[in-house]
Amino acid sequence: MVLSVLPLIPIFLALTPALTALAINSKGDLQKWLIALIAGGGWFVALIARLPLLTLITKLFQKSYIIVVASSSLLAGIFEEPVRFLLLKYISKEIKLGARELISFGLGWGLVEALIIYVFQAIFMQYGLGAKWFNLLPGAVERNIATLFHIALTFTVAWVLVKEVKYIMLPISLHAMANIYAASLLWIVKDPWIIEGLIGFLIVPLSIVAILIMHRAIIGEVHGKRY
């Protein structure tokens, strides 16, 4: 019985913190759950949209890890942040986007990414390839860091929404640089726990600071208005 439960631990760790945060943040408000669902759909659309170009680049430069990783990191920012912007713009026309709505959006974006990028892969690796559950724990931790980062990016894009669209390059650049940083560690450092520690050491405080700064900046730009 215990052995049958163990493979679920990394999946539980990857999803439960964000799901719990979403439940607490939403407080039974279905609108905030819907915002999270829309955000998750946006992540999936951005993924599908960039796949053909990413596949082509991978095929052309399959012998160059650096080019493929750099391209993948850049494409993630280039495709995801404009989609995030468009969805927030659409939602802002229907409801007032406050901090809790933006948090729900970021959590939904990160949860769907965790589900598709990590959970399905973790299930296959354990039941299909015989991987040990404890070897998948670093990836589960990374999913939580990534979700926090998506909340920060959501606040940043919301600031772009009330400022000027030309500033969209800020979240695009932040997204790309974070991905490049993580991929570089994967290439240089071999221990997965050290990698996640170094990722968390930079991304967690950066995300918290970005959320606080952007929230205050949004309030300063449109005090008392819809955004």
Q: What angle do CA 73, 55, 124 make, to 5 degrees?
A: 85
* Structure tokens belonging to residue 81: 């942040």
For the cut 80, the answer to whether the pLDDT of residue 4 exceeds it is: no
How confident is the prediction for the chain on average, in pLDDT?
Answer: 92
Are the CB atoms for 187 and 68 separated by under 8 Å? no
Contacts of 95 (CB under 8 A, 6+ apart): 31, 101
For the cut 60, the answer to whether the pLDDT of residue 227 exceeds it is: no
* Structure tokens belonging to residue 64: 């160059």
Helix (H, G, I), strand (E, B) or coil at 47: helix
* Structure tokens belonging to residue 223: 């005090």
Enter the pTM of the model.
Answer: 0.94
Convert the pLDDT of each residue in 53-112 to its tens digit.
999 998 888 878 788 888 999 999 999 999 999 999 999 988 888 999 999 999 999 999
